[in-house]
Structure 1
Amino acid sequence: MGRPRTPLLDRRRITATALELVDEQGEFSVPQIARRLGVQTGSVYHHVDGRDGIVELLRERIAEAIDVTTLDLRPWDTALESWARSYRAAFAAHPRAIPLLMINPVRAPRVLQQYERAVVLLRDAGFPVAEVMPVIGALENVVLGSALDLAAPAAMWEIGDAAATPHLAEALDAAGGDRADRAFDLALHGFLTHARARLARHTGSRTE
């Protein structure tokens, strides 16, 4: 038999299969990937740097959906807000990947380059170097928490007896179906307001 025109195994197929497993169950294993692709486990290891390597391939795959050109916008807060919204959308498509990726160090070169651009944005805006990573980390807390919130059940609070918690029942009724989006907008606005104030203290500029 001649060689198949399409390779049975490559990094793209391994990544896609791992992402399918994560979307389904929140985790993956190399043997699971191999079984789904119909190959031996050892064959998978020929194409990737172990399980950690697959995690970084997943990170790169999801991050591809983030519009990095938003980091070229000015002023800095417009860029950061646009990046946050794109970042949230990318991870909201794969919320079960968030816990997996957040407990593994970021090593993927293309993802590191995205952080590099965010750091340059904040440094150019006037943030002291010691402030930069806390600002980025705080923004990620807002973004990733909101991405998980989007994946939560529509009825996150189940009230059996409205008379026992009447104020909660009233607040839930008033929240509407876009509760998660409104909560994200509120958190992002609060984050940006605080970040502007911190920058103003360092530069002496006025906040909006």
Structure 2
Amino acid sequence: MGRPRTPLLDRERIALTALRLVSEQGEFSVPQIARALGVQTGSVYHHVDGRAGVVELVRELVCDRIAGEALALEPWDRALEEWARSYRAAFAAHPRAIPLLMTTPVRAPRVLAQYERAVGVLLAAGFTRRTVMPLLTALENLVLGSALDLAAPEAMWEPTPDTPLLADALAAVGPNRADAAFDLGLAAFLTDARTLLAADRPA
């Protein structure tokens, strides 16, 4: 028998199509994926566990660009900084996926494995169990907010003659406002984390 005219349906093609739809319109539906791939909707469901399963495929596709190996660096704060920068870059490439992925529970095994490693890094550094998740959540908020900021128009403010201070401040920061803001926020986060670690350690 000859080869089929189109490649067989698989999870990777489903994920790539869903991510393309999200990048174009901020959302997707399983029937839209099926139409884009030229198959019946039921055929997609043979490969994924409903819409939630597609969301997790998209999550893995985006998060595969995060450098999980950064979490092996020493010391812990260097590992966390490099991981955060890689995390930001991965989501900045697909900013319209952020609302979708951050409002659904994380179930993708490869993504959970990265969080497991991050928790391990913080515990090994000496942070208490009660502080680990607030720290990771705060870092994630910073990273994802900055990823959205990178996708925003360069001129997010339009000063008027009545706002000369704002105009001067914008002129002073130049074209790298989003990067400067992220660097400042990340430095502040790490400084506070170091302070918290020192307070958690027994005297």
Q: Same fold (TM over 0.5)?
A: yes
Q: Which residue number corresponds to residue 92 of structure 2?
A: 92
Task: Tell me if 1:174 matches 2:184.
Answer: no
Q: Which residue number corresponds to residue 41 of structure 1?
A: 41
Task: Tell me if 1:103 matches 2:100.
Answer: no
Pairing partner for 1:165 from 140, 163, 166: 163
Identity across the alignment (%): 70
Q: Which residue number corresponds to residue 141 of structure 1?
A: 141
Q: Which residue number corresponds to residue 75 of structure 2?
A: 75
Q: Which residue number corresponds to residue 118 of structure 2?
A: 118
Q: Distance in 1 between matches of 2:21 and 2:5?
A: 26
Moved more, 93-102 or 196-205: 196-205
The CA deviation at 1:7 is 3.5
Q: Which residue number corresponds to residue 131 of structure 1?
A: 131
Amino acid across the alignment from 1:140: E
The CA deviation at 1:175 is 1.4
SS across alignment from 2:153: coil
Pairing partner for 2:188 from 184, 187, 190: 190
SS across alignment from 1:96: helix
What does 1:51-70 correspond to in 2, within 5 Å? 51-70=51-70
Q: Distance in 2 between matches of 1:117 and 1:6?
A: 39
The CA deviation at 1:148 is 0.3
The CA deviation at 1:4 is 2.1
The CA deviation at 1:2 is 4.1
Q: Distance in 1 between matches of 2:174 and 2:50?
A: 45
Q: What is the TM-score normalised by the length of structure 2? A: 0.97
Amino acid across the alignment from 2:140: E
Q: Distance in 1 between matches of 2:12 and 2:200?
A: 45
Moved more, 6-15 or 182-191: 6-15
The CA deviation at 1:53 is 0.2
The CA deviation at 1:3 is 5.0
Q: What is the TM-score normalised by the length of structure 1? A: 0.94
Residue-pair matches, total: 203
The CA deviation at 1:173 is 1.1
Q: Distance in 2 between matches of 1:168 and 1:7?
A: 55
Task: Tell me if 1:29 matches 2:19.
Answer: no
Unpaired stretches in structure 1, ≥5 consecutive residues = none
Q: Distance in 1 between matches of 2:119 and 2:5?
A: 44
RMSD: 1.3
